[in-house]
Amino acid sequence: MSYGSRMAQVLLVEDDPAIRGALIRGLTERGHAVESAPTALAGLEHAVGKRPDIVVLDLGLPDLDGATMLTMLRGASRVPVIVATARDDEREIVAVLDAGADDYLVKPFSAAQLDARIRAVLRRGGEPVTDPTVVVGGLRVDPRSRQASLDGVDLDLTPREFALLHYLAARAGEVISKRELLTEVWQLPYGGADKTVDVHLSWLRRKLGETAQQSRYLHSVRGVGVRIAAPKD
């Protein structure tokens, strides 16, 4: 499996779906692979299990306060954490920095500001974020220019097809469920709209010049989901 190893894998812990959706889009456009969790406990499980490069943590979560979550996280992981707070409250900010946060932003902030902080924190940690292009065999997916090519030929993709291809290619080799695609690429709840994923996958497959019967990159795993992998030939 070849993999865009320099892009940051960002975990966004945020309970507000509108903020979550906007930040996922903005950070993805800037070359990061973003996954999200809506509660502190889901975020802790993800941060420990999937080991992202950086965590963006909203302090106003429904289940735990930020300082408590940070203390629990620091018991298990040294992952860099940027805290997002709605309150310009100096005591709160000092408490989370003491609990192990690396930086903070006061809401509202833009994806561009968050991206700049992410890069700065990762630079300090000595992990350069440079070329975010994801390469899988002859497939190249560049989230900065939103251009994808196959064997050197540009693919003419809609924004949604590009987002779908980028999401899958950044996780090459993993089987991704349609539920995950619907929530992470479409930001929709599961149920009813799962045909949407099938339709876009078939369009994407056609643009990659393959069919479900003769797949090269895009492999359906019946009843489970879909996986991108480089062809073996």
Which residue ranges make up the site for Ca ion (CB under 5 A)?
A: 15, 58, 60
Characterise 173 by phi-psi region: left (phi > 0), alpha (psi -120 to 50), beta (else).
left
Query: Which strands sit side by side in the sheet containing 139-142, from one edge to the other?
Result: 134-136, 139-142, 147-150, 153-155
The answer to whether residues 200 and 162 touch, using CB atoms and an 8 Å cutoff, is: no
Of 15 and 102, the one with the shorter C-beta distance to Ca ion is 15
- Distance of closest approach, residue 58 Cβ to Ca ion, in angstroms: 5
Nearest in space to 155 (alpha carbons), one of 165, 169, 168: 165
Is residue 198 within a helix (H) or strand (E), and if so which, with residue range? Answer: helix 194-207
Q: Would you report the helix, strand and coil content of the chain in percent, each value rounded to 5?
A: 40, 20, 40
- Distance of closest approach, residue 60 Cβ to Ca ion, in angstroms: 4
Of 15 and 115, the one with the shorter C-beta distance to Ca ion is 15
Of 15 and 161, the one with the shorter C-beta distance to Ca ion is 15
- Distance of closest approach, residue 54 Cβ to Ca ion, in angstroms: 19
> How far is 129 from 7, CA to CA, in rounded Å?
6
Of 60 and 138, the one with the shorter C-beta distance to Ca ion is 60
- Distance of closest approach, residue 127 Cβ to Ca ion, in angstroms: 28
- Distance of closest approach, residue 23 Cβ to Ca ion, in angstroms: 12
Angle at 71 between CA 65 and CA 72, to 5 degrees: 90
Residue type present at position 71 = T
Of 25 and 179, the one with the shorter C-beta distance to Ca ion is 25
Q: Phi, psi (5° rounding) for residue 149? A: -135, 155
Of 7 and 59, the one with the shorter C-beta distance to Ca ion is 59
Residues forming beta bridges with residue 135, ordered by sequence position: 140
- Distance of closest approach, residue 107 Cβ to Ca ion, in angstroms: 9
